[in-house]
């Protein structure tokens, strides 16, 4: 796990993460920083984590690096109460707005989807620097994207990494891929600066082809990828002039976070193993 951590996690400290960001910036890529952790059940701990994110946002500006932040609502006290979570993230979004920065609210398991989107809608009523994540594997994602488009909220589209029951999610890979392409087209047609998060060469090609067909410039959307995953494709897309943003996780809680993700869904183990060999 320590070997894997060196490949897929930028480090345990802010300084280590910033060093990784500088390298990626030098290759023409933007970044988003994620302090690893989730399912906080203490109001005090959630408040402290919010303070840590505000510190990161201030440090990004002072360091002159190109980065924003991504966070999970269970880090921010969603398991404590919606009200305390709202206030913690509101403080972060406000601090980011003052620095002309952006906050992406990550999506977690489907049991959190409705509450997460309800809170994102609420923050977006006051701030324009907050975005959401939508998982193509969920049946509900099309109407969710239509509503986010209507509200002018930027979306990161991913396939989804959580183990979900067939009552709420597509089970077959081909069905997830078909829905991903359908949702990608909805996002690109909307005109907002949306993000396609994928390491799938077919999804990348279909996104590029659809954008070219519709005459959508490369600077009107971006691809997002995980730190250490498919690094050759990341560099190739950047050289082609596409917007590329790398999701850079760091922090001391990397082991419990990745252990849960790998234990939860065997596809996550296969994904990491394949890209470890791919380079």
Domains of the chain, with CATH numbers? 2-278 (3.20.20.220)
Please give the structure tokens belonging to residue 183.
Answer: 């949702």
Whether 104 is catalytic is no
Question: Each residue of 45-100: pLDDT tens digit?
Answer: 999 999 999 999 999 999 999 999 999 999 999 999 999 999 999 999 999 999 99
Choosing from 106, 189, 219, 263, which is the catalytic residue?
A: 106
Choosing from 90, 104, 154, 156, which is the catalytic residue?
A: 156
According to DSSP, residue 218 is labeled G
User: For position 161, what pLDDT does the model report?
Assistant: 86
Q: Which phi and psi (to 5°) does residue 68 adopt?
A: -125, -165
Beta carbons of 154 and 134 less than 8 angstroms apart: no
Beta carbons of 9 and 36 less than 8 angstroms apart: yes
Question: Each residue of 102-154: pLDDT tens digit?
Answer: 999 999 999 999 999 999 999 999 999 999 999 999 999 999 999 999 999 99
The CA–CA distances, whole Å, from 195 to 25, 59, 81, 225, 254 equal 18, 25, 29, 10, 25
Q: What value does the mean pLDDT of the chain take?
A: 92
Contacts of 178 (CB under 8 A, 6+ apart): none
- pLDDT tier at 230 (50, 70, 90 boundaries)? confident
pTM of the model: 0.92
CA distance 54 to 89: 10
Whether 144 is catalytic is no
């Amino acid at each position: 796990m320590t070997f894997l951590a060196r490949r897929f996690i930028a480090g345990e400290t802010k300084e280590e993460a910033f060093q990784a960001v500088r390298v990626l910036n030098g290759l023409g890529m933007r970044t988003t920083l994620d302090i690893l952790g989730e399912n906080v059940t203490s109001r005090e701990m959630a408040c402290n984590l919010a303070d840590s994110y505000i510190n990161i946002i201030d440090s990004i500006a002072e360091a002159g690096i190109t980065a924003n932040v991504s966070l999970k609502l269970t880090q921010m006290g969603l398991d404590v109460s919606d009200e305390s979570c709202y206030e913690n993230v509101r403080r972060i979004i406000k601090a980011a707005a003052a620095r002309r920065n952006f906050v992406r609210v990550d999506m977690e398991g489907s049991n959190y989807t409705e509450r997460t989107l309800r809170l994102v809608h609420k923050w977006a009523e006051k701030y324009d620097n907050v975005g959401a994540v939508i998982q193509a594997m969920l049946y509900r994602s099309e109407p969710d994207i239509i509503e986010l488009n209507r509200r002018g909220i930027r979306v990161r589209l991913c396939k989804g990494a959580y183990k979900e029951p067939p009552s709420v999610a597509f089970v077959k890979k081909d069905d997830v891929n078909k829905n991903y392409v359908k949702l990608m087209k909805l996002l690109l047609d909307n005109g907002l600066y949306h993000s396609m998060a994928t390491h799938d060469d077919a999804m990348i090609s279909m996104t590029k082809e659809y954008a070219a067909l519709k005459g959508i410039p490369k600077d009107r959307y971006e691809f997002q990828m995980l730190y250490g995953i498919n690094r050759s494709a990341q560099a190739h897309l950047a050289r082609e002039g596409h917007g590329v943003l790398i999701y850079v996780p760091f922090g001391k809680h990397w082991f419990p976070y990745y252990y849960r993700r790998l234990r939860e869904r065997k596809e996550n183990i296969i994904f990491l193993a394949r890209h470890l060999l791919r380079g």
